[in-house]
Structure 1
């Protein structure tokens, strides 16, 4: 069967931002009548490529071709003129308008004296019917329908212009299983009509349910393009994280014997903790002096679980006990009050305050815990700042230097000092070694081990499975916003086996593999 020529083709595209090459000679092609999924971990370049295709970013070098012709996309209007429409994760519609008005926004039918609303609604009805949504009342308020149907209205709006390319950026992140299937029905209908669909999702099961073809990016570079049937889940994950199967197999645990006494009351325990749209109800226990790793792909639910434990997000289900006593951790202040601390994965935006000094950044959490009306005495400030700058060898050794002038590794050390200054019993570290040099990474890994030896409980989250397997005494495995397994680390635990649990086609298979590994039945 002869392959149709691509509607969109990207050849050797590069985009550079200050200090980082977001795209590095990336190739990509999108064929008519297919769902093509773009995969990659955080920082892979997916969002940058989408923004290049929608004209939000200009490429520094390379070419973008639409129907074989080079195009210079200067914005969303020029992208739409080229037949490329995009629907983002957050539905960009007007809830105060009707369904029909949203579908036709900017493309209303005009008469002699303004908009002809009868014909505009009739055209909206046709657009909705083309996707199997003819049952919707175009004159009903958009706010009267579910988020899933609003997502479909956004797609209808994108297709009013007879687009040949539809980009769907994380469209299922807030939908339940039934709503996802409705969306997929519409996607298949559009695909069968010849529309080329670029789909971005971190839900592995959904990727394999809807995709015809998959392109993998890693660190801003093109890894490869594959037909879905030629790429199994384990191979896909290994390409995303940059380790082949033999290398994953070699990444074994350095934990030889499990000596943790788990009969004692846990430092933290939760039954059924969850948040709709973010994390399915989850059970978890964390014991004194234990390093618990959270493993999973981007968007698996690792960060969501950590934020619920700390109180950065409010759980809408579950019961929590701290040291055996029922606790309500519904805010970061409550988390700190229960001696729980959380270092965010987004160091630049949610961690450091760039224009404040190293001293001020270290003291922020202590001051917040104490209350802003009770200032920390200057002598205690000096003691704490000196203690943690020396402990982690922060360079340069200048507490009054603006933190934005420090390297990423030293900024991370300052953040670690900030949270340790609150004297937590449980420290949650979300991607603490991402984007820092090898020396700083080793320092932080060593610090984690020392903290656990001293009796502190640590949750360690990393996209690098090698780190999780080597540092953790127990590994909680998450996938598609739910916990699918848990293993006590030991000599039989390897990164490859963690990947096999993540790659399992059903939750039941994942749980079975995790149980078998935990019981030593996998050799």
Structure 2
């Protein structure tokens, strides 16, 4: 008789999870074998994050079952039992930076009574040594590198007894050498029987590390296959639903560039760079044009957008509006130069939630709402009402608290604020995040309208629907421009470029 096959580290089947009318997971499943490194990939909204929340006990599925090593998942709320079975190392480190490595390893496990610190540090040193983690247990966690913090989190998870670890974008903040060291450590742990679920936007890493890959699309399971038997074209096709050579159904109409357009660029970046975020980049955005800056997590596209609007100070190069340099790292100067900004996180960066629609919409134009620095309520309401009418914001009136609006209408208020000063260029970072399909169309129509009136816009996003309104798209990967596409790009080609596949991106052709 052959050797018995050990039970799977995790087996989930028939998982359904709804949030109101939204189906986040539609009868999906996944099986990760003991000692395997299994990739889970899919575009935004595919259901990856929701599955992680189910597999870690943060969410209870509406249907389906999860088993760890053949045993049913613990009861909801039994934290200790969940910790003994599964852990997730997130892109954003969960270590407490002001505590030492030893204190982080045994956080919430000190028990009652007096702590013997020498014994605690000795236990931490033994634990780190057991898993080959070369970190001083006496060092503050905040002084560690990103890579070292990840190793500490993995060691902590293993110390609870978990032999299944989810890695959520673990390479997003690592350089090439750090990625190599991380992968070497993961392979060592696999040989000890530890299983990993590897979630990444960088598809080349799937081929470098994993033996099995599962693809989700639109909350459904599309395929599970051995990585060695799945070509890169087939993987991208599974993610996008588009075969090689396919073209999206709608794009912005191609526009022929002229020398006059280039000379009269509204926005120009010349050798613009930010250390540890993106390498020198050059581009010009012409009057009437929408430029897309496409890229997945840690591609550098968000940092580039934030540098354009002054939230980050470039370490090299410069930004020009209408041929005039913009003071680096200065939001007020960028605003005065004619750059409007729609931030990625409307709740944290874009809105004052306990204030009215009028107050939020006019934050950038208070100098226009009354004489000698005063703000007249009547003038504020009138200005806001014009913005409400022009953007079709669904509200009971200018005085309604912005917190009472739907997500799509809140985002329209953010855009209203950005447009209030009639900017020459609008920079929007993931402008449709968290809004419904109808609101997406309306919001993108507003951004497109900025260019159609003769100004310019830049959309920073990894959402394909956001990028379809763009006349050109520059794709970034790990801080480098990897491809540029004209009108008529295919989903497959753009996704390949954003995911860093060597042959994925190429010059788009204009129709």
Out of 459, 476, 501, which is 1:505 matched to? 501
SS at match of 1:263: helix
Match of 1:268 in 2: 267
TM-score (ref. length: structure 1): 0.83
Q: How does 1:487-506 map to 2 (within 5 A)?
A: 487=485, 489-490=486-487, 493-502=489-498, 505-506=501-502
Partner of 1:85: 87
Counterparts of 1:84-483 in structure 2, within 5 Å, are 84-95=86-97, 98-105=100-107, 115=116, 117=118, 120-133=120-133, 136-139=135-138, 142=141, 145-240=144-239, 242-245=240-243, 248-251=246-249, 253=251, 255-260=253-258, 261-297=260-296, 300-367=299-366, 374-378=373-377, 380-396=379-395, 398-436=397-435, 439-465=438-464, 468-469=467-468, 471-483=469-481
The alpha-carbon deviation at position 267 of structure 1 amounts to 2.6
Structure 1 residues 51, 352: closer, same or farther in 2, change over 3 A? same
The 1:146–1:160 alpha-carbon spacing in structure 2 relative to 1, beyond 3 Å, is same
2:77 aligns with: 74
Question: How far does the alpha carbon of each residue in 1:97-119 deviate from its partner, in whole angstroms, 9 at most, with x for none?
Answer: 55445445566799x9964835x
Moved more, 372-381 or 405-414: 372-381
Secondary structure, in 3 states, of the residue corresponding to 2:384? helix
Give, in whole Å, the separation in 2 of the partners of 1:439 and 1:216. 27
> For 1:38, which of 37, 40, 65 is the aligned residue?
40
Q: Structure 1: how far apart are the matches of 2:465 and 2:381?
A: 37
Distance 1:452 1:100, change over 3 A: closer
Consecutive unaligned residues in structure 2, runs of 5 or more: none
Distance 1:258 1:194 in 2: 58
Deviation of residue 425 (structure 1)?
A: 0.9
- Which shifted more, 311-320 or 384-393? 311-320
- Give the aligned partner of residue 485 of structure 1: 483
- 2: CA distance, partners of 1:98 / 1:254: 53
Task: Tell me, in whole angstroms, the C-alpha distance in 2 between the residues paired with 1:69 and 1:384.
Answer: 62
Question: How far apart in 2 are the matches of 1:256 and 1:341?
Answer: 25
Return the offset for 1:176.
Answer: 1.7
Deviations 1:234-264 (A, max 9, x none): 4434433x43226942546553441443431
Is 2:169–2:198's contact at 8 Å kept on the other side of the alignment?
A: yes
Q: Post-superposition shift, 1:36?
A: 1.6
TM-score by length of 2: 0.85
Q: Which one of 34, 53, 56 corresponds to residue 55 of structure 2?
A: 53
Q: 1:127 to 1:218 in 2, by over 3 A?
A: same
Quote the Cα distance in structure 2 between the aligned partners of 1:353 and 1:68: 49
**Given that residues 93 and 154 in structure 1 are in contact (C-alpha distance below 8 angstroms), is that contact kept between their aligned partners in structure 2?**
yes
For the residues of structure 1 that align with 2:231 and 2:499, how far apart are their CA atoms? 8
RMSD: 3.6
Q: Is the 8 A contact 2:172 2:297 kept in 1?
A: no
